[in-house]
Amino acid sequence: MRKIITRLAEDLEKIREEKPLLHHITNYVVANETANLTLCVGALPVMAQDQKEVEEMVSHAGALILNIGTLSLELVEAMILAGKRANELKIPIVFDPVGVGATSLRTESARKILRELYVDIIRGNAAEVSILAGYGGKIRGVESLGVENDLSLSIKEFAFKKNCIVAATGEEDLINDGKRLAIVKNGHPMLNRVTGTGCMATTLIAAFAAVEKDKFLATIGGLVTFGLAGEKAAQQTLEKPGSFHVALYDAIFNLSLDDILKEAKVEIV
Amino acid sequence: MRKIITRLAEDLEKIREEKPLLHHITNYVVANETANLTLCVGALPVMAQDQKEVEEMVSHAGALILNIGTLSLELVEAMILAGKRANELKIPIVFDPVGVGATSLRTESARKILRELYVDIIRGNAAEVSILAGYGGKIRGVESLGVENDLSLSIKEFAFKKNCIVAATGEEDLINDGKRLAIVKNGHPMLNRVTGTGCMATTLIAAFAAVEKDKFLATIGGLVTFGLAGEKAAQQTLEKPGSFHVALYDAIFNLSLDDILKEAKVEIV
Amino acid sequence: MRKIITRLAEDLEKIREEKPLLHHITNYVVANETANLTLCVGALPVMAQDQKEVEEMVSHAGALILNIGTLSLELVEAMILAGKRANELKIPIVFDPVGVGATSLRTESARKILRELYVDIIRGNAAEVSILAGYGGKIRGVESLGVENDLSLSIKEFAFKKNCIVAATGEEDLINDGKRLAIVKNGHPMLNRVTGTGCMATTLIAAFAAVEKDKFLATIGGLVTFGLAGEKAAQQTLEKPGSFHVALYDAIFNLSLDDILKEAKVEIV
């Protein structure tokens, strides 16, 4: 375990040194927030979604983020074009199926993306991941209202079937690569008080995926980092969601390797 | 009066308990800000604007917000699709005619929306509301430069004609249901220093409309809450618009029922 | 020099008095941020990008900002429609060629804009400006990785050829009108930690261009103001990019004429 956490800390250092470009095809609600988060963790953001440029843009990227928070058929087409190019170039893809299950457009688009692309990592809340995996779940808009199945089991089967990493984030984050289950216990309830924190977690996972070959570790790294930043941000801003949001950027920027070594709460079972 | 204000406080409590979903079809300038405000008042935000999903999404919503801040014909079509479904399901609609009068696209789109949908509540600045009501007004971009008619009279006639609630917000907020005029005196000049505070007020009205049957009261509730939050946010951040913007979220989140009971400034005449 | 700086301070006063409307056709990543910055400097923002309304909207504007950060062919068409109307009405245009060189869509769109419109001021980072001028440069996404040519020379030739003002911003900002070179040394490294600070600088230049006939001075004015605000914001928020971002709005809002008179660092050579 110590070895893994040391490697996560080294990955964070690598992000800051290599400054990978994170190409986001994402929703307009959190575009600014995820771009700023990208800068704060030490990477470079670019948002580009036109079908005429996404293949060219992604070819310079360290990772591609596909987020269907405010989707359209055109946007999904752009995601598939960018994704195919990313697959050819072995650039990792992180997929965030925002609100899947809430409308059939979202469900069908998400399935289409998974059918046409190899996606390295899928991150969603419990309902999104469970619905996408085919086990059902309750969602109100983009908010998980819970699942009835055993989530750790369904993400395992889903990850195994898709041969990728599946992460269901929430009070505890569950990550599975089809064999191993990791549980990340870092985080803070204040993260639920700010919109787009799921999208932000996805961005951090992508930053780690850009520098870490083992995508299971990359996913853990992104979620530990984000959870830790949430804990630190909450120290001074409890019950103040606006101030907490601001402090979250400060915390990501200032997260030290030592913070990870000492405060990461990860179990692998 | 005491009875009304007590009911507004109870409505705020109800929002926090029931967490209604607020479906926004809105502009990309303030999407993040209104989503965060929705969370801060205790409701759940969802932004979805594709014609292929809006009818399905709105059917789960407690209220629908239509905001033409960055409109296109496609977006207006989506608004009408969502709005018709909302009308069928008796889900309240709050309409924010941003910049109406500034271009004929905005004026015609706003009129089309009012022709094709039953809108429960209209909220705009003085010029927007007066122009939409057919009495003219001066607007620069999306900023009211004032009206020459008697605003309290024109919103009364407009509300009566449309059988809905009309609110013209500004230094004092005027609200009319075709018979009664309410004046909300909560608020702070710093609210003019942040973009999208009109859109935010509309979001809060929608939160109240989702839990309060009497839409006249819901409109008053949203505007009292927003005005009070502005007053509290300004206490520590006078002449600091960036800090004020952050404090506004904190203030909405922390607004107590007692704050409303003691500090609401409403007159009904 | 003293005379020039006095005039810049007077221009800032004029912005606050006249409140010019700044019509942005810009990317969705920084729309909220540039709208808020516009309010903080004392001007009025409007974001409108539909081809059916941009000509009408721009005719009320004091300046037009064209920013290709998240472009599409439709958006570029809207820019050209708005720009032609602006040219007819002698409304100044400020062009921000975000990410030019990163994809051919961006490069071709930027060239098309320069071919079809008279643009008063071009502002980009070193790579963007150098690539647009035809001298090449390295860009990763929207981030300049540097140029190999003598930047002060290439912007001079480019400005001369296009008969406009060209500004390449970075650690020092270089501004050329085809004859004179101005160097603005205000600024702070923390500005690199927030997304969209280039776009924000463009917005401030447009605010000055709306009230100042000499566009060379207007460009200097915008960049001095932005640099100074960055310096002041950094005083309390060093190594805290989230807090710095908030403080930047406060600093712009509170910048005094005296601050400009005493702290502007401009050389004209």
Contact A139, A146 (CB under 8 A): no
pLDDT > 70: what percent of chain B? 100
- The per-residue pLDDT for C87 is 98
pLDDT > 70: what percent of chain C? 100
- B145/B127 Cα distance (integer angstroms): 7
Which H or E run includes C84?
Answer: helix C73-88
- Count CA atoms within 13 Å of residue C182 on its CB side: 26
Mean pLDDT of B50-58: 98
- The per-residue pLDDT for C52 is 98
Nearest residue, CB atoms, B141 vs list C60, C246, C253: C60
A248 contact residues in C (CB cutoff 8 A): 242
Angle between helices B31-41 and B197-211 (to 10 degrees): 40
Mean pLDDT of B200-219: 98
- C87/C82 Cα distance (integer angstroms): 9
And the tokens for B252? 């909405």
B33 contact residues in C (CB cutoff 8 A): 32
With an 8 Å Cβ cutoff, are A240 and B250 in contact? Answer: yes
Tokens 């300004």 correspond to: B234
The β-bridge relationship of strands B173-176 and B181-184 is antiparallel
- The per-residue pLDDT for B212 is 98
Contact A48, C101 (CB under 8 A): no
Confidence category of residue C3, pLDDT binned at 50, 70, 90: very high
Per-residue H/E/C for B137-188: CEEECCEEEECCCCHHHHHHHHHHHHCCEEEEECCCEEEECCCCEEEECCCC
- Say yes or no: C102 contacts chain A, CB-CB below 8 A: yes
Contact C251, C233 (CB under 8 A): yes
Confidence category of residue C179, pLDDT binned at 50, 70, 90: very high
- Say yes or no: C29 contacts chain B, CB-CB below 8 A: no
Angle (nearest 5°) at CA B224 between B221 and B225: 80
Q: What is Dmax (Cα atoms) for chain C?
A: 46
With an 8 Å Cβ cutoff, are C142 and A46 in contact? Answer: yes
B245 contact residues in C (CB cutoff 8 A): 36, 246, 249
> pLDDT tens-digit profile of B133-172?
999 999 999 999 999 989 999 999 999 999 999 999 999 9
The β-bridge relationship of strands B121-125 and B165-169 is parallel
- The per-residue pLDDT for C94 is 98
- A186/A199 Cα distance (integer angstroms): 17
Closest residue by Cα to residue B182 from B126, B131, B223: B223
- The per-residue pLDDT for B117 is 98
Closest residue by Cα to residue C175 from C4, C2, C3: C4
Nearest residue, CB atoms, B32 vs list A32, A72, A242: A32
> pLDDT tens-digit profile of C59-101?
999 999 999 999 999 999 999 999 999 999 999 999 999 999 9
Contact B51, B28 (CB under 8 A): no
> pLDDT tens-digit profile of A123-178?
999 999 999 999 999 999 999 999 998 999 999 999 999 999 999 999 999 999 99
- The per-residue pLDDT for A100 is 97
> pLDDT tens-digit profile of A50-76?
999 999 999 999 999 999 999 999 999
Three-class SS state of A208: helix
Three-class SS state of A34: helix
Which H or E run includes A146?
Answer: none
Q: Which residue of C has its CA nearest to B98?
A: C46
Separation in Å, CA of A48 to nearest CA in chain B:
16
Closest residue by Cα to residue A97 from A177, A48, A28, A166: A166
And the tokens for C3? 């005379």
- Say yes or no: B26 contacts chain C, CB-CB below 8 A: no
Is C11 buried (19+), middle (13-18) or exposed (0-12) by CB count in 10 A?
buried
Tokens 């969705």 correspond to: C28
Q: Domains (ranges, CATH) in chain A?
A: 2-268 (3.40.1190.20)
With an 8 Å Cβ cutoff, are B47 and A29 in contact? Answer: yes
> pLDDT tens-digit profile of C117-146?
999 999 999 999 999 999 999 999 999 999
Which H or E run includes C259?
Answer: helix C257-263
- The per-residue pLDDT for A220 is 98
pLDDT > 90: what percent of chain B? 98
Mean pLDDT of C215-233: 98
> pLDDT tens-digit profile of A171-215?
999 999 999 999 999 999 999 999 999 999 999 999 999 999 999
Query: A184 CB contacts (<8 Å, ≥6 apart)?
Result: A172, A173, A175, A220, A223, A224, A227, A265, A266
Contact A45, A24 (CB under 8 A): yes
- The per-residue pLDDT for A61 is 98
And the tokens for A235? 């120290």
Closest residue by Cα to residue B226 from B197, B254, B247: B197
Angle between helices B197-211 and B215-237 (to 10 degrees): 140
And the tokens for B32? 């993040």
- Say yes or no: B246 contacts chain A, CB-CB below 8 A: yes
| Residue B109 identity | S
Confidence category of residue B130, pLDDT binned at 50, 70, 90: very high
Phi, psi of B132 (to 5 degrees): -65, -35
Strand partners, A63: A22
How far CA B89 is from CA of A99, B61, B78, B82, B236, in Å, comes to 22, 10, 17, 11, 43
A141 contact residues in B (CB cutoff 8 A): 21, 23, 44-46, 57, 60-61
| DSSP assigned state of C177 | S
- B6/A85 Cα distance (integer angstroms): 59
